[in-house]
Amino acid sequence: MKITSKHIVYALLVMSLFAASAWAIEKPKPQEIEGKIRWGFDYKEGQRISRDTGKPMFVVFRCER
């Protein structure tokens, strides 16, 4: 299947970040980027959304120092 840019943008809507968190840190709320990309910060919630939508997850670890 040839995937066009339209497909990719559509996929990005749910291919969001779901870095897990615990141990005395507050989970950030999901962040919307220009209404197109929803970055989440809860891995288990990401798995649930992925299961519900049938879309893969894009899991990013990044340093914000």
Report, in Å, the least distance between residue 11 CB and other proteins: 6
User: What gap in Å lies between CA 64 and CA 13, rounded to an integer?
Assistant: 23
Name which of residues 5 to 64 contact other proteins (CB under 8 A): 7-8, 11-12, 15, 19-25, 43, 47-48, 50-51, 55-63
User: What gap in Å lies between CA 62 and CA 53, rounded to an integer?
Assistant: 25
Backbone dihedral angles phi then psi of residue 11, each to the nearest 5 degrees: -65, -35
Judged by beta carbon, residue 32 or residue 60, the one nearer other proteins is: 60
- Residues binding other proteins: what is the number (CB under 8 A)? 29
